[in-house]
Amino acid sequence: MNLTATIESLLFASAKPVSLASLKKALQVEETALREAVEDIRRRFNVDSSGIHLLAHEGQLQLITNPLAAETVRAFLKQEQTAELTRPSLETLTVIAYRGPITKPELEQIRGVNCSLILRNLAVRGLVEERDDAARLQTVYVVSVEFLRHLGLHAVDELPRYEEFHANEHIDQMLKELAGQL
């Protein structure tokens, strides 16, 4: 796969803006090649006929929807937010509730699938929050106050069988194996 396509894939999979510096490091490319690839993406996507645009701001990149479709997208997302959660969303939310704070790689290790879009949807609904974790040097996910309020709980440890699932040995072992791979 060429550099431009790889960058497009990384930006698409990321739930938040990606820095040029992190792309350069991850892809081990020269800055000139990186900037040329980004400019190619911008030229191809940032046109009225494209539903996706590249946002570039202060060294951060993110794929976004075409601003011309803002009202349609807003209406669709509002409708989607009021719809019932899907089974994968409920599973992800459950893992975050019982194992949080949890990183995206840990969550994906437990679930066995990419969770980027689900995490974004849960965050948009206000059910999970992202926090920086200085000890892990990455973002962790926790359930929000809104989640607890919706369930009528005062704290996450009031969830049924919380202690049993929060400290599950099998899951702990899976996460230790993941940490060894990183």
Question: 174-177 — which CB contacts under 8 Å span 24+ positions?
Answer: 174/109, 174/110, 175/106, 175/109, 175/110, 177/109
pLDDT tens for the chain, residues 1 to 182: 899 999 999 898 886 889 999 999 999 999 999 999 999 999 999 999 999 999 999 899 999 889 899 888 888 777 666 667 888 888 999 899 988 898 898 888 888 888 888 898 898 888 999 898 877 788 899 999 988 888 888 888 888 888 888 876 776 676 666 666 55
- What single DSSP character describes residue 134? T
**Residue 152, by phi and psi: left (phi above 0), alpha (psi -120 to 50) or beta?**
left
| Domains annotated on the chain, with CATH | 3-69 (1.10.10.10), 84-181 (1.10.10.10)
Of 121, 129, 29, whose CA–CA distance to 7 is shortest? 29
pLDDT at 129: 92
DSSP run (H or E) holding 95: helix 87-99
Kindly give the pairing relationship between strand 138-143 and strand 128-133.
antiparallel
Please identify which residue in the block is written with the tokens 């019982």: 98
Please identify which residue in the block is written with the tokens 């599950």: 168
User: Residue 139 in 3-state DSSP?
Assistant: strand
User: Residue 70 in 3-state DSSP?
Assistant: helix
> How far does Cα 145 stand from its chain's mean position?
19
Kindly give the pairing relationship between strand 102-103 and strand 138-143.
antiparallel
